[in-house]
Structure 1
Amino acid sequence: MSGVLRLLVARTPTFILLTAALSVAGAPVPAWAAAKTAIEIVPGAKSISPEENAMTADPARGSQHGTILVDESVRDESTGTETNLFRHVRAKIFSNEGRRLGDIEIDHVRDRGLLKKWWGFTLLPDGTVLETKQSDLKEQELASSRGRAYVALKTSLPGIVPGSVIDYGYVLQEPGFYSTTRVDIQREAPVKLFRCRWVPYIGATASFGLLHTEGLSVTMTRDQRSVLVTGADLPAVLDEPYMPPDSESRASALFYYRRSGSKPKDFWDLEAQRLIRRATTFTKEKPIAQAMLSIKFPAGADLMTKLRAAYDWASVTLRNTTRRTAEEAEAVRADDKEKPEAWKTAQDILAAGEGSARDLDFLFFGLARALGAEAFPVLAADRTDHYFNPGFLSIEQFDWTLVAVKAKGDPDDKLVFVDLGSGLPFGEIPWWLAGSRAFLASAEGHRVVTLPVSDPRKNVSETHVKISFNLDEGTSPFTTVTDNKVQRGLSARWRLRGLGPEERAKELENYCGASGDIEVSKAQAPNLEDATADYHLKCEGSRMNSNFHRDLGGYHFGFMGPWVEETPRFTSPTRTQNVVFSYPRIDHLILDVEAPPGFVPSGAQTPPTVESAFGRYALLISVTPEGYHVERLYALTAVAVLVKDYDPLRQFFEEVARADATSLGFKRAPGP
């Protein structure tokens, strides 16, 4: 694994298994004296203290907008039947932008969460106290799943001005308890004092740990009943473009329950054996053998060619029920004979012609073994949200199932990772999994493997654009046709498939650049119903304010538009977080601009080619009898870039931006 890709590997936290009194199910609760981890959550003072009044902004510490004076909470799950969350936050505001610290959001599940207590107030510099009532909290639905609505209670504390102190808190009660909870220790502003106490359910095996606290004043104290995390003078984590996810860019505490008190290796080996048993049971020999008879293998094909043929056959033969189009999902809901969601064997999948994403991966696992390959189930995490951490002993951190295959006896660097049902070709996996570590299961135990990043030469976007000018209306009509390969357009394609017809049409217009200045008359993405097809986008429209009129003596026109995905812009001269991109890629723009009647090209200077360790850029401009022919080639070859390499990365994109600002000139045609 290269040094760059190591950026996508989570640092291993320190995890501590609590004492036997906490982990033995059914153990009686002793009559403790006051626990050394106990803290009390109460409202702050309703006046600004002299110390708070003396505080001023310190941009060097990230407190130019505000400072969090206290962030403290208690999560009490001790009964096992309910969770009581006690929270208190107090902050000093230094600027108008700092007012966002008074934007409050309390997430919970509708009809399950109960807000038992609330307070919120703003202390103005003149001593005025502005109260916020519980009735001022307004509910907003965030998402719904399996009949549950996930909502947030939102409000903004009133009257916040520079120099104010805000204070709010609440007690939220919910039934049961969460199997895993991550609590951020760092915030978008510096934190003067952080305290978080966890009181786990005594009847389950509880574990906890700290992540990304290196160099910070963070300590952990525990007793027989609970654990207390304390932090002091914690720096802010500023939002930076293309930074790692929150879980990997700021200090946090992780609290979770697990099945046993096994050591890490034993835990993961056991999970590997369970996964292998599940996959093997799923792929019965007879239905797999019958499926093999339907696959046409090229004569004299080697193992990898046969595996590719089996993968291609299954991709076009079987539907992925996890990734239905909105129309397919609606048809299933209307069908009284809807099939059950969970299949138990390969025979069910083959008979129905469809299965979930995991079902399809397990099926390919069986096909690969029948062809004589070594095949392994693989569990992976979505790296846009978090990274797989072997020190976190829970399979809940995984979001995706894959299959790894190789010839018997080959080393692991010959492994080929596939995701049947993703619509991607053999040997490709979704970009949000690639570049990070994953969990591979074998009969002998587990292995931690690195998922390879896709080759940029496969992730190609080719866009053909034709632009003309209507001098009477001052507009510039255009047509675009974009062909995207492999990872290019994968996310957009999946999103479009999941939208209903009206929403899809609107989203397509957005993809074509619909805005106040651009009017889109046609927006199409053909073959969305084919899960294995590449993503194609066809657009027709007009830029409404080109301001090119007959009475002008000359005109300059920028070739950039919605047909070019904006390249990253890094405006800050410094950087604290590593840079993480989605995937390496190549974008090829082929643009023809037609000169309007009475005008001819006045010429344009081709900028120099830009070369760097992170990519390449070239812009070719030529004058044609009709106007201009422009070709733009942009290659991004990096996935993750270390902070130490930020300056040359920033310089690369600055040079790209300067080249993209090249304009095409027109002048009046010679003649009477």
Structure 2
Amino acid sequence: MFFVIAKKHLYMKRFVCSWLLLAIVNLCAAQTTLPEFGEITADEKTLTVCSFDKEADAVVILDQASADHNEQYNLIFTRRVRLKILKSRGNRHGDIAIRYIHKDDIEYISNIEAYTYNVTPNGVADIKHVPSSAIYRQKINERISEVKFAFPDVQVGSIIEYKYTTTSKSYSYLNDWYFQSELPVMNSQFTLVVMPNYEFAYRVFKSEQFPIEIKQEKGSGRIYFGMKNIAGLRDEPFMDAEKDYLQHVEFQLSGYQGTFGGTTRYMTTWNEVTRELMSNPVFGLQLNKNIPVGEEWINKVKAMSPPFERMAAVYNLVYKAVGWNGIGGIGTTSGVKEAWEKKKGSSGDVNLLLINLLKEAGLEVYPLLVSERGHGKVNPEYPFIDQFNKVMAYVVIGDNKYVLDAAGAYTPPFMIPFSVINTKAFVVNRKKGGIITLTETAKKDKNYVSIHALIDDEGALTGEAIIQSDEYARLNRMRAWARDKERFRENYYTTYQAGLKLDSLVLNNLENDSMPLEQQFHFSIPATVSGDYKLVNLNLFSGIAKNPFISDIRFTNIDYGCLQSHTVVETIELPASLKIESLPKNVRMIMPDTSISLTRLLEVKENTILVRYVIATTRSVFTAEEYDYVKDFYKKMAEIMNEQVVLRKR
């Protein structure tokens, strides 16, 4: 359910939802008076731990902002933040970076003030202001810049506070307000003043245990939101987008009342979203451009008989020919023709260009608005365009549907981009459009590990490994390899045991999408000795070095993105001087709903140990309510997999 707030001259338009009116009538008293900027209270000085989040290394005492307008109807956003450092690792919060859109002077940040408050050993207040010379601007890309500064003398017990003003060209650059962050927040307040004749829709995302205060001032167009004492939300393994769990309020322009009466509605239904987008010069009007790729190339592609080959040819052309400049968004920033000419553009430029050429090749294709998993979930009940962060191409060939992204990490045309699996998307088309769910059950994160190793007389292990990473495992490992080769070795190989070393690493099939990524290498593990016994851990390169779920409390889903399939086959040869004292037992462990399973089989043939591990999942998403079950299962699974073979001299 969403609500509409509006301002028409000097009186407020009635809220669409009567529930909200009742909520306003029964709200608690007006917001607490706040201390002035630079005025530190006695309670803040003595604060040493956050009572509602005792693990926190810092706490936000106050996060207050307001959005208003000037006579030119620019959006004037002012913000003030005060926080206290509680532990030494919290010192990192003393480095501030505030992003804004510098392109075409859309936004500008000014009126920056900041200081550090400490108390000397003799009890005297020590206040150090951040000089203007220490505040600088850094360009991130063609569209985004940052204002950056560092607080001086930040230490445990420091209170740091800053404020600034952002001036934007219009209210279309109004951002959502987040009451919560990775740090606990004691007091978060946001006030929106709606311009005359404008209507804004908003919706609040929050957990039931956190009360929210919403107040509206009659006749002023002002609405206030406030929350208090919210624990921090820290990163967890396989977590959905942080945005999905943070307490926040979203805004979207929903209407405008003209001078002579009558209200123009903006995107209050999905049909209106389609209509607005298809008539927009940076979106729909970019879909019928004549891209100068050459008549010869177009005719060659059109002559390809299987439609899939045509689609793949167009996708590969755009992916290789036009680079992504790092700027996101669902619309173009410079236009598809300019992106082709410059061979570079935003994600909107690149993928709308892709759609143009797919249409030119005679394929049925539509724009697909997506929200990548890191951006947050889409709620189909709310036609909010800000729910999406990217446009992709949606191709229909018979009964098959394909999702193509030429502005992201390379993904073969027959696979859904990993970033949007298990998400909802919006097909932009009047007749065949609507919300769809992107799921993948056929393609998996699939690894097959084959190991042949020898144990010497001292218990040291040396061997050769061949790992075949297929489907999404192939894509993920190729990207990790391209990003950082040393970190790649650490993440996938050497993390399993202390002292494990590898050399002669070779990767095969890097250019062949239809083949698994093959990794071959030699490895060695030093002996683990306990008295007369040699201990050998057979858990090698399985993907489960240890239990990834260690938090006692988790409020977020577990989302692997896709199904998992990991098989490890080992042949371990023993020296004549050693005999097996004890051997882990064969075991099969499975979740009650069969969603996760582990199988371990061991067999001894003469002087050889044969080992087989199989780990598989039948679903890729587990809710926060299931976390304890998954955590316990992985704990037992890690314990079983790390059980050791015990050897002894004959």
Q: TM-score, normalised by structure 2?
A: 0.75
Deviations 1:52-93 (A, max 9, x none): 8599764xx4345475443222345645668553313255x7
Indicate which of 224, 234, 240 corresponds to 1:244. Answer: 240
Alignment of 1:464 with 2:473, yes or no, is no
Give the Cα–Cα distance (whole angstroms) in 1 for the partners of residues 132 and 536 of structure 2.
Answer: 51
Alignment of 1:488 with 2:468, yes or no, is no
Q: Please show how residues 422-461 of structure 1 align to structure 2 within 5 Å.
A: 423-444=410-431, 446-455=433-442, 458-461=444-447
Amino acid of the residue matched to residue 16 of structure 1?
V
Indicate the SS of the match to 1:429: coil
Alignment of 1:609 with 2:601, yes or no, is no
Give the Cα–Cα distance (whole angstroms) in 2 for the partners of residues 381 and 540 of structure 1.
Answer: 41
Change (3 A) 1:156 1:589: farther
Q: Do the aligned partners of 1:110 and 1:149 also contact (CA within 8 Å) in 2?
A: yes
The total of aligned residue pairs comes to 590
Change (3 A) 1:601 1:584: same
Give the Cα–Cα distance (whole angstroms) in 2 for the partners of residues 235 and 174 of structure 1.
Answer: 29
Indicate which of 527, 532, 535 corresponds to 1:546. Answer: 527
Per the alignment, residue 117 of structure 1 pairs with 113
Deviation, 1:171, is 2.2
Change (3 A) 1:238 1:356: closer
Indicate which of 611, 620, 626 corresponds to 1:639. Answer: 620
Amino acid of the residue matched to residue 618 of structure 1?
T
Query: Identity across aligned pairs (percent)?
Result: 11
Amino acid of the residue matched to residue 106 of structure 1?
A
Amino acid of the residue matched to residue 504 of structure 2?
K
Per the alignment, residue 197 of structure 1 pairs with 191
Give the Cα–Cα distance (whole angstroms) in 2 for the partners of residues 608 and 430 of structure 1.
Answer: 36
Indicate the SS of the match to 1:432: helix
Alignment of 1:270 with 2:275, yes or no, is yes
Alignment of 1:74 with 2:66, yes or no, is yes
Change (3 A) 1:400 1:443: closer
Alignment of 1:622 with 2:603, yes or no, is yes
Deviation, 1:156, is 7.1
Deviation, 1:641, is 1.7
Deviations 1:411-434 (A, max 9, x none): xxx662332656545542112201
Amino acid of the residue matched to residue 486 of structure 2?
K
Alignment of 1:569 with 2:548, yes or no, is yes
Give the Cα–Cα distance (whole angstroms) in 2 for the partners of residues 417 and 187 of structure 1.
Answer: 36
Q: Do the aligned partners of 2:112 and 2:163 also contact (CA within 8 Å) in 1?
A: yes
Give the Cα–Cα distance (whole angstroms) in 2 for the partners of residues 220 and 288 of structure 1.
Answer: 59
Change (3 A) 1:622 1:364: farther
Indicate which of 563, 574, 587 corresponds to 1:584. Answer: 563
Per the alignment, residue 107 of structure 1 pairs with 98
Give the Cα–Cα distance (whole angstroms) in 2 for the partners of residues 139 and 488 of structure 1.
Answer: 43
Give the Cα–Cα distance (whole angstroms) in 2 for the partners of residues 628 and 490 of structure 1.
Answer: 33
Give the Cα–Cα distance (whole angstroms) in 1 for the partners of residues 133 and 545 of structure 2.
Answer: 38
Per the alignment, residue 16 of structure 1 pairs with 4
Indicate which of 130, 135, 152 corresponds to 1:134. Answer: 130
Change (3 A) 1:269 1:253: same
Indicate the SS of the match to 1:360: helix
Give the Cα–Cα distance (whole angstroms) in 2 for the partners of residues 524 and 139 of structure 1.
Answer: 47
Indicate the SS of the match to 1:525: strand
Gaps of 5+ in 1: 1-11, 23-35, 298-305, 326-339, 350-354, 408-413
Deviation, 1:194, is 1.7
Give the Cα–Cα distance (whole angstroms) in 2 for the partners of residues 141 and 492 of structure 1.
Answer: 35
Deviation, 1:291, is 4.0
Give the Cα–Cα distance (whole angstroms) in 1 for the partners of residues 638 and 133 of structure 2.
Answer: 44
Deviation, 1:557, is 1.1
Change (3 A) 1:395 1:291: farther
The alignment's C-alpha RMSD in Å is 4.7
Change (3 A) 1:508 1:322: farther
Per the alignment, residue 226 of structure 2 pairs with 231
Per the alignment, residue 26 of structure 1 pairs with none
Deviation, 1:249, is 0.5
Amino acid of the residue matched to residue 415 of structure 2?
E
Deviation, 1:483, is 1.7
Give the Cα–Cα distance (whole angstroms) in 2 for the partners of residues 493 and 259 of structure 1.
Answer: 47
Per the alignment, residue 380 of structure 1 pairs with 370
Give the Cα–Cα distance (whole angstroms) in 1 for the partners of residues 342 and 67 of structure 2.
Answer: 44
Name which of structure 1's ranges 237-246 and 194-203 shifts more when overlaid on structure 2.
Answer: 194-203
Change (3 A) 1:136 1:288: closer
Change (3 A) 1:585 1:143: farther
Give the Cα–Cα distance (whole angstroms) in 2 for the partners of residues 41 and 547 of structure 1.
Answer: 61
Gaps of 5+ in 2: 11-29, 103-107, 257-264, 326-333, 344-348
Indicate the SS of the match to 2:42: coil
Per the alignment, residue 45 of structure 1 pairs with 39
Deviation, 1:583, is 1.8
Q: Do the aligned partners of 2:355 and 2:366 also contact (CA within 8 Å) in 1?
A: no
Per the alignment, residue 329 of structure 1 pairs with none
Deviations 1:335-393 (A, max 9, x none): xxxxx9944899999xxxxx944433543455464xxxx54332211112222345363
Indicate the SS of the match to 2:420: coil
Q: TM-score, normalised by structure 1?
A: 0.73
Q: Do the aligned partners of 2:322 and 2:340 also contact (CA within 8 Å) in 1?
A: no
Deviations 1:483-530 (A, max 9, x none): 222211323423544x5xxxx543444355357834442334334455
Deviation, 1:252, is 1.2
Q: Which has the higher strand share?
A: 2
Deviation, 1:267, is 2.8
